[in-house]
């Protein structure tokens, strides 16, 4: 089965070589690989152009303002095969990745395949981040798992039927696309052994920004997740208990108790993925930071949605 591998890039010089080398090690090599580059000003383009791999590479030059949706659509338009595999710069592919996705295409007779992804954390802090940004293996539900462009396959026919990726959205665009697939009851095969490895953000600032962008993108696109309401509810309760703390003795006790329980909850739910003493410090900080980023990102996204 022939396939095209597409990747969008912008200033990815630090991660691109590892991705290209992992593509060259695939058990089934792509018939073509297409990069859609949005005006990189580092050595991204030269790395792509100089790579001597066992497959042809095409580099598309886009405007620096082009988002990932634009890049993927232009790359798929330029492809010469029916089956399109998609991943992101910053990922490293397991050697069986393409083979597993193609097997699901063939065996399930489907037009969309959701591959899986795993953390390639290099520090304890990054291990703590992983549960916040990835679906951990023990939480994978094959019946509800949706494709993400970090690890995905789609036929050109289905992409055309869907009208491509919505170019209005810069953030959370793949989740919006997946929700549309789900709403139209498109059959989605799951290739749980088609794994790409992705390094979580290395700093609190970059992690928080990522969470904000996803929450903002979801709100702009009208993707309202139940957990967002739960987060707002938690903080409403905490805020009420804080107000009571100024007037009632039991209010202080209630506030401190709730805060301690929430910190304990943030550790208990994710410590098994880290198992290091530093997690007792990092996990509560990440929980509170991600909560703030989700609430603020959602608020800003709703304001943008209403204004437009």
CATH number, position 35? 3.90.550.10
Cα 45 from Cα 32, distance rounded (Å): 17
Arithmetic mean of pLDDT, 18-30: 95
Q: Which domain holds residue 211?
A: 204-307
Question: Residue 75 in contact with residue 6, Cβ under 8 Å?
Answer: yes
Percent of the chain past pLDDT 70, that is, above it, reads 100
Sheet of 188-198, strand order: 57-62, 32-38, 3-9, 83-87, 151-155, 112-119, 188-198, 91-93
Are 223 and 186 in the same domain? no
pLDDT at res. 210? 92
pLDDT at res. 138? 84
Tally of structural domains, the chain: 2
Are 302 and 171 in the same domain? no
Are 103 and 181 in the same domain? yes
Q: Which residue has the higher pLDDT, 90 or 156?
A: 156
Q: Please give the backbone phi and psi of residue 216, each rounded to the nearest 5 degrees, phi first.
A: -60, -50
Final residue before a domain boundary, out of 153, 181, 198: 198
Are 59 and 186 in the same domain? yes
Arithmetic mean of pLDDT, 75-98: 94
Are 289 and 172 in the same domain? no
Provide the 8-state DSSP code for 172. S
Are 292 and 209 in the same domain? yes
pLDDT at res. 255? 84
| 101 Ramachandran zone, left/alpha/beta (phi>0; psi -120 to 50) | alpha
Are 61 and 122 in the same domain? yes
Paired tokens of 275: 């198992």
Task: Report whether pLDDT(307) > 90.
Answer: no
Task: Report whether pLDDT(296) > 90.
Answer: yes
Arithmetic mean of pLDDT, 122-134: 92
Provide the 8-state DSSP code for 185. T
Arithmetic mean of pLDDT, 235-240: 88
Cα 195 from Cα 101, distance rounded (Å): 10
Final residue before a domain boundary, out of 165, 198, 231: 198
In this prediction the pTM is: 0.86
Mean pLDDT lowest among 51-60, 108-117, 168-177, 189-198 = 168-177
Are 216 and 183 in the same domain? no
Q: Which residue has the higher pLDDT, 258 or 251?
A: 258
Question: Residue 172 in contact with residue 133, Cβ under 8 Å?
Answer: no
Task: Report whether pLDDT(304) > 90.
Answer: no
Q: What is the mean pLDDT of the chain?
A: 91
pLDDT band at 170 (very low <50, low <70, confident <90, very high): confident
Are 215 and 125 in the same domain? no
Task: Report whether pLDDT(124) > 80.
Answer: yes
Name the helix (H) or strand (E) containing 186.
none
Are 246 and 143 in the same domain? no
Final residue before a domain boundary, out of 157, 181, 198: 198
Task: Report whether pLDDT(137) > 90.
Answer: no
**b/e per residue 193-221 (b: at least 16 CB within 10 A):** ebbbbbbbbeeeeebbebbbbbbbbbbbb
Mean pLDDT lowest among 91-100, 130-139, 148-157 = 130-139
pLDDT band at 250 (very low <50, low <70, confident <90, very high): confident
Are 181 and 73 in the same domain? yes
């Amino acid at each position: 089965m022939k396939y095209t591998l597409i990747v969008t890039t912008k200033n990815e010089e630090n991660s691109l070589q590892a991705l290209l080398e992992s593509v060259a090690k695939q058990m089934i090599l792509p018939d073509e690989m297409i990069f859609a580059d949005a005006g990189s000003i580092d050595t991204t383009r030269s790395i792509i152009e100089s790579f001597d791999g066992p497959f042809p590479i095409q580099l598309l030059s886009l405007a620096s303002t082009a988002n990932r949706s634009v890049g993927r659509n232009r790359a798929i338009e330029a492809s010469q095969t029916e089956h399109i595999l998609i991943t992101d710069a910053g990922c490293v592919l397991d050697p069986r990745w393409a083979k597993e996705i193609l097997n699901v295409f063939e065996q399930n007779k489907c037009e969309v395949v959701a591959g899986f992804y795993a953390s390639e954390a290099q520090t304890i802090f990054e291990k703590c981040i992983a549960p916040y940004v990835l679906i951990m293996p023990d939480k994978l539900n094959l019946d509800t798992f949706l494709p993400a462009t970090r690890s995905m396959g789609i036929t050109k026919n289905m992409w055309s039927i869907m009208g491509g990726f919505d170019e209005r959205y810069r953030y959370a665009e793949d989740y919006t696309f997946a929700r549309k697939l789900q709403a139209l009851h498109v059959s989605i095969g799951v290739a749980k052994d088609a794994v790409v490895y992705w390094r979580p953000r290395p700093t609190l600032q970059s992690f928080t920004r990522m969470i904000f962008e996803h929450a903002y993108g979801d709100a702009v696109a009208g993707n309202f997740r139940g957990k967002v309401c739960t987060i707002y509810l938690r903080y409403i309760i905490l805020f009420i208990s804080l107000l009571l703390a100024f007037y009632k003795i039991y209010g202080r006790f209630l506030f401190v108790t709730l805060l301690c329980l929430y910190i304990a909850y943030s550790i208990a739910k994710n410590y098994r993925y880290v198992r290091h003493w530093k997690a007792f410090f990092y996990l509560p900080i990440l929980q509170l930071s991600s909560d703030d980023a989700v609430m603020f990102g959602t608020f800003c996204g709703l304001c943008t949605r209403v204004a437009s």
